[in-house]
Structure 1
Amino acid sequence: MAGAGTASLRSSIFWTLSIRFMGVVLLALHSDAHTSKIFDVKLVVLNAPRLGRQLVGNVSYHARKPSNTGEFVLYSLVFGPNAIKPGPELQTGTRVYLIVDLDLSGFIPDAANQGAAGASGTLYVTSWVLNSDGVSNDPLNPNSNVYYTGFRPLMLSTAVWVVNEVCGTSVEGTLTVEDVSGILFGPPPGAALRSPGPLDQHRPLLGLNRLLYECSYGNIILKRSNTIILSLSLPCGGTRPNNATWNSTSGACGDNELLGWMEYAVSNTHQVLGIDPSQFRRRVLVLPSASGTGGSLCPSWQQRGSYGCDENQGCDIWVRGERDHLLQWLLAQIGASMLLQPATSSANPSGVNPLVSSGQPTDPSCALGSAEGDYQCFNGPNAFKLLLASPWKQVYDDSNLVVGVKETVTLRPAALSANNLLLVVSKRKPSPSTAPRPLYGQYRAPVGGDAGLPAAVAGRLVLHSVNVDSPPLGLEPGTPTVLLAALDVGQSYRFQPAKVLVRFKSWTPPDKKDVGGVTGGSATVSICRYDGLSETGKCQDGIDNDCDGLTDEDDPDCQTKDKAS
């Protein structure tokens, strides 16, 4: 369903970019003003840094380029004014051809551009195109080391470094290796369930391993045996393999710092401990909230990471080491490494088309949204894209639904059953210039991995959509999800793009045998297709045209001078 539309889009993008790229190649090769060169590279894409409910920076693009020694060197990309603006089709691990202006780039040892005017470690890109060898014809390819593709569970392999010393000075109040291990895996095996001292209110009720397991229904697995957690002492500064410098004392937090710190962690671990971190596909740097010499590292944001993950080189995550939030921030960035975009909320309550979102991670029902303190799983469209959730009921507005006729469905808690979605696939175009939109519905009971849901969405029927006509799946580029509504019992919502009214009819409590309420009960939901917002003008057709439960003369809309119509 989704794959065909996205595959067609990818093909269209590829050929459009290819034609433009060839034109730029011809111009570049015949230009005497600057020296240009074509590089075949793999990308590293870093998502926008986040501070609470806000994105506080921009996506950045980098390229792994093989050197003369056979090693891969990571360069930052600067796109010229005539280069095509990068989009979500570019992700970590994507292969592209770059036309690089050597005179405006930084020094590249194997390109002999010693007089280059660009900043160290940069490639100045005048044009680019996807490398067809790096574009998968099957976005649901089962052979993956870094993505769950629906065929077998994904075993995460993770290296974590906890920065506890900066420029020779110990960081006060930072998390320890033991603290981070507890957040990832819960208390050590054999530990008492409760400390003999005062109850630690900061310790999460579950580890990241259990949260991932429950939110993926056992399909994403984090084990101690596939994880290393090490302390790290960052020096005052250093030079990256691309000749760019980084420091850790002045509060700087540019891409050279992030990538330089990670490169140092990898090389230092290899040299000092004899451990090759390249075997771990996901690498995490836990930054201190405050350092002993120059203030906190990256004080302007709390989390950042890779958009997508390279099958061979893996991907990176940076998070601030705050005990109350680390669990949720790690889940958010793991989601981003699986091609999830920020979970936004609607800026237009009526749900008109086109969908208008806040543009910020403000959805309280998703790890990719406004997760502040507690924890929850992924929202409906994100769980669907990850191939974790599937529709319990899927309807098409033009074939399954008759105007005015209600269809009823019972939904189990999303955290307890993979078959938890109500999915409405719309074929209706509200106007020639707007595409149809899918509608996702979930009953989000505060149980399992959703036990930390905030009150605004806990126990409610949560509705989402996305600004694409076909729901993305698997390795297809993600799109920001849009929270439309969180309905309580008795409330309804009109989704105008599909002309569908969804109502949370009733809630059935857990069975009496479930004393603790861990099964969450169930939600009875009705869905109805309407062809107008009122019955007026259609009072003799025997149809409940506005889906309010009243037909013709029984509807107050018809108790007017329009009754005769």
Structure 2
Amino acid sequence: MRRQQMVASAICRPAHFVLATLLALTNVARAEVGVAQVMSALEEGYFDSPPGVPNFHLNNNNKDYLYLADIENPSGSAWRLVAEGPNLIDKYNVLTGDYVRVNYKNSSTASGSRRLLSDEPLPEIDSIDVISESEGHEIYTGTQIRVKSMIYIISTCGWAPSATVEQIKGTFFNNTNNIAGYHDTCSYGKVAFDPSENFVFGPVEIPCKGTVTNGVLKYPYDASVACGAAEQFAWRQYSEAAARAAGYGAFMASSQRRIIHILPREVRCPWAGLGNVGCSGSYCIVYIKGAYAQDLTVNMHELGHTQGLSHAGRGYDEYGDFSDVMGTAPSEGYLCMNVGNQYRVGWNKPLATLLPDNTTNAPGNRGVAGRWVLPPTAATDTNALYLRYNINGTPFPNIFVSFRSRTSRYDNALATYMNNRVFVHNFNGSATERDYNRTLLVAVMAAGDVYTSPFLGNTTFDDSGLGVKIRVISIAAGTSATVEVCRLTEKVETSCFDGDDNDCNGLTDELDPACAMASSPPPSSPNVPPSPSKSPPPSPPPPISKPPSPRPPPRPRSPPRSPLPPPRPPTSPPPPPQLKASKAPRFPTPPQKPRPPRPPPPPRPPPRRPSSPRRPRMPTAPTRH
């Protein structure tokens, strides 16, 4: 952009000539530099909400917007849309306030700095390079974070303001549940939203149509038909000018100041709220559509984005966590962040951090569940088990286990089916400004419920695999939840003689059904005799009463049971059973005259000594060794 302005000055041409020149260069790969504005939208009206849930939820089709502002004057020059779509922060590794270089691919549709949010297709981006990272302060590190803002009530296009100054002051400061109380309660006092540093101003009357400028270029806007980058910038520019004229100029020089716009109900915006992700530099921006002007959860959701938080999901639904205001709030009131999001912004501390070794279970016993008592998150900021399994390059999710219980303030909007329950969240994030991970709710459990994680085999650890089983032993409503956590090393018990419950089902070794049919322990096991390697020496068979489980003699015309293929039965009935009592009932008898039996089928060879054939070893007679 700087280079573009210098070119315009050198040739002394009007804006339309510069625009034509830029259009003539559209087949050339380009790059432009500016200040990033990353916006996340809370969409509305795209599906039928459950009873009591506001209809602004958009499943997994959310859209982010990336705007680029003039690097020379980011607060006074209009921004342009350069990208839109899901997960832009993660895709381009960019946050609000970064100085970036946007590199475009060759494209006949590229139109340089004239680009606004319009019907034209966006030029295709090749990459975005972060020249200088933004500097934020939204992670709590021991000093209270004090949020500062100007809250503007806007009217335009003949549309009346959506709320009065007193109504907005009630929403933010004076009502029983308010935004100031939301911050104080859910952050355990670590974030302040005080009336002395957050001012409500308005209504501000803004022309419905006009132009906004960027250097020598002017962009038209028309709020009666659009809600794009030009319209959004016009709302901010006119509001800030009115506040300066009213004497707020000194306060508006504050860094990391929120600029919150309460829009009319009729504006053509497809979202309930839109806000910057992260707040660095001199300001960050929030827009609230008029229908949600006094909605606590929509306002707090967007302010949560300015603190750097992403959405809270469940399954394939990016907003699917109904236990977190960064997901979907089931009703108005305070719905605090889940423990993973609290960890992300430094609001909580783990009750214990468990690694994928014997610290997960009772010390020294891999297969014995460790028992933990969880306090309610409403009672303390030291409130979660942190299973830190995503280490050493192992692609396993870190797990947070917490207990949520409603109070008159904390979580007073928590759904009934989630009250006094144990929560399991996956979150591989960290307490750093440039962390783009989202929390994912995977289980909500009552007493007696069990959550078993996916099992990951072939890890870098010595054991055969990695997984965890979490069992809720008991819940004392409003007081505590007792859970057992057991690390799995095998999906199904196969190490049946090591003294461990390797699959965490509560059954060890031979008590586990998976081990019931297992063979004897290997020879290296202590106090276990080795398996026989030779046939027993020829000797008289033991009395029939001695074998451990003797079988009755076979019925007539039935072949005798043997580990070898049986011979065909004689054509005449066999002698009575009592005549064969002195012979082993499970072995074939020697040849008899005058009619010998037919030779046995292969693979058994003929006996070397017909008078005393070698008897095959009985598998049930190892007790003779």
SS of match in other structure, 2:423: strand
SS of match in other structure, 1:257: helix
- For this pair of structures, how many residues does the alignment match? 458
The aligned residue for residue 151 of structure 2 is 160
Does structure 1 conserve the Cα–Cα contact (< 8 Å) formed by 2:272 and 2:292? Answer: no
Matched, 1:420 2:425: no
Does structure 2 conserve the Cα–Cα contact (< 8 Å) formed by 1:77 and 1:124? Answer: no
User: Match for 2:470: what amino acid?
Assistant: V
Deviation at 1:308, TM superposition (A): 1.2
Deviation at 1:384, TM superposition (A): 0.5
Show CA shifts across 1:230-282 (max 9, x none). 223332222112322222223x2223222322222212332456646733500
Deviation at 1:36, TM superposition (A): 7.1
Within 5 Å, which residues of 2 pair with 1:303-452? Answer: 303-312=273-282, 314-322=283-291, 326-346=295-315, 358-374=316-332, 375-401=334-360, 402-427=365-390, 435-447=395-407, 448-452=409-413
SS of match in other structure, 1:225: helix
Distance 1:167-1:428 versus aligned 2 partners, 3 A rule: closer
Q: Which has the larger radius of gyration?
A: 2
Deviation at 1:161, TM superposition (A): 1.4
Does structure 2 conserve the Cα–Cα contact (< 8 Å) formed by 1:544 and 1:552? Answer: yes
Deviation at 1:484, TM superposition (A): 0.4
Distance 1:379-1:32 versus aligned 2 partners, 3 A rule: closer
Give the Cα–Cα distance (whole angstroms) in 1 for the partners of residues 492 and 293 of structure 2.
Answer: 49
Does structure 1 conserve the Cα–Cα contact (< 8 Å) formed by 2:79 and 2:233? Answer: no
Matched, 1:186 2:194: no
Within 5 Å, which residues of 2 pair with 1:51-200? Answer: 51=44, 52-54=56-58, 57-67=62-72, 72-78=76-82, 87=91, 89-99=93-103, 128-134=127-133, 144=136, 146-163=137-154, 165-170=155-160, 174-187=162-175
Which ranges of structure 2 fall in alignment gaps of 5 or more residues? 1-23, 45-55, 457-465, 522-625
Give the Cα–Cα distance (whole angstroms) in 1 for the partners of residues 42 and 292 of structure 2.
Answer: 19
The aligned residue for residue 271 of structure 2 is 301
Deviation at 1:409, TM superposition (A): 1.4
What TM-score comes out, normalization by structure 1 length?
Answer: 0.73
Give the Cα–Cα distance (whole angstroms) in 1 for the partners of residues 502 and 125 of structure 2.
Answer: 56
Does structure 1 conserve the Cα–Cα contact (< 8 Å) formed by 2:474 and 2:482? Answer: yes
Does structure 2 conserve the Cα–Cα contact (< 8 Å) formed by 1:365 and 1:376? Answer: yes
User: Match for 2:397: what amino acid?
Assistant: R
Pick from 221, 245, 248: which aligns with 2:223?
248
Pick from 280, 283, 288: which aligns with 2:264?
288
Deviation at 1:457, TM superposition (A): 2.0
What TM-score comes out, normalization by structure 2 length?
Answer: 0.66
Distance 1:260-1:418 versus aligned 2 partners, 3 A rule: same
Show CA shifts across 1:338-370 (max 9, x none). 221111102xxxxxxxxxxx1421101111101
SS of match in other structure, 1:179: helix
Does structure 1 conserve the Cα–Cα contact (< 8 Å) formed by 2:329 and 2:413? Answer: no
Distance 1:236-1:323 versus aligned 2 partners, 3 A rule: closer
Give the Cα–Cα distance (whole angstroms) in 2 for the partners of residues 267 and 35 of structure 1.
Answer: 39
Distance 1:259-1:371 versus aligned 2 partners, 3 A rule: farther
Deviation at 1:504, TM superposition (A): 1.5
Does structure 2 conserve the Cα–Cα contact (< 8 Å) formed by 1:393 and 1:409? Answer: no
Distance 1:119-1:71 versus aligned 2 partners, 3 A rule: closer
Q: Which structure's relative contact order is higher, taking Cα pairs within 8 Å and 6+ residues apart?
A: 1
The aligned residue for residue 208 of structure 2 is 236
Deviation at 1:420, TM superposition (A): 0.7
Matched, 1:262 2:236: yes
Give the Cα–Cα distance (whole angstroms) in 2 for the partners of residues 32 and 273 of structure 1.
Answer: 45
Does structure 2 conserve the Cα–Cα contact (< 8 Å) formed by 1:77 and 1:125? Answer: no
The aligned residue for residue 190 of structure 2 is 219
SS of match in other structure, 2:243: helix
User: Match for 1:408: what amino acid?
Assistant: R
Give the Cα–Cα distance (whole angstroms) in 1 for the partners of residues 490 and 190 of structure 2.
Answer: 43
User: Match for 1:89: what amino acid?
Assistant: N
The aligned residue for residue 458 of structure 1 is 419
Show CA shifts across 1:178-214 (max 9, x none). 1111111124xxxxxxxxxxxxxxxxx4211111111
Distance 1:257-1:526 versus aligned 2 partners, 3 A rule: same
Does structure 2 conserve the Cα–Cα contact (< 8 Å) formed by 1:209 and 1:221? Answer: yes
Give the Cα–Cα distance (whole angstroms) in 2 for the partners of residues 42 and 345 of structure 1.
Answer: 33
Show CA shifts across 1:275-333 (max 9, x none). 467335001112233xxxxxx21453211111111222x11111234469721112111
Give the Cα–Cα distance (whole angstroms) in 1 for the partners of residues 26 and 371 of structure 2.
Answer: 68
The aligned residue for residue 495 of structure 1 is 453
Does structure 2 conserve the Cα–Cα contact (< 8 Å) formed by 1:106 and 1:119? Answer: no
Give the Cα–Cα distance (whole angstroms) in 1 for the partners of residues 89 and 164 of structure 2.
Answer: 41
Matched, 1:479 2:453: no
User: Match for 2:80: what amino acid?
Assistant: S
Show CA shifts across 1:89-110 (max 9, x none). 20101121345799966686xx
Show CA shifts across 1:25-67 (max 9, x none). xxxxxx9876777544221111134222216552111122145
User: Match for 2:223: what amino acid?
Assistant: S
Distance 1:273-1:435 versus aligned 2 partners, 3 A rule: same
The aligned residue for residue 353 of structure 1 is none
User: Match for 1:239: what amino acid?
Assistant: T
The aligned residue for residue 35 of structure 2 is 42
Give the Cα–Cα distance (whole angstroms) in 2 for the partners of residues 219 and 147 of structure 1.
Answer: 11
Deviation at 1:157, TM superposition (A): 0.4
Give the Cα–Cα distance (whole angstroms) in 2 for the partners of residues 411 and 564 of structure 1.
Answer: 42
Distance 1:529-1:223 versus aligned 2 partners, 3 A rule: same
> Kindly, what percent of the aligned residue pairs are identical?
22
Does structure 1 conserve the Cα–Cα contact (< 8 Å) formed by 2:156 and 2:264? Answer: no
Give the Cα–Cα distance (whole angstroms) in 1 for the partners of residues 62 and 504 of structure 2.
Answer: 44
Distance 1:422-1:33 versus aligned 2 partners, 3 A rule: closer
Distance 1:259-1:562 versus aligned 2 partners, 3 A rule: farther
Distance 1:561-1:362 versus aligned 2 partners, 3 A rule: same
Give the Cα–Cα distance (whole angstroms) in 1 for the partners of residues 26 and 138 of structure 2.
Answer: 44
Pick from 252, 262, 272: which aligns with 1:278?
252
Does structure 2 conserve the Cα–Cα contact (< 8 Å) formed by 1:398 and 1:427? Answer: no
The aligned residue for residue 508 of structure 2 is 551
SS of match in other structure, 2:261: strand
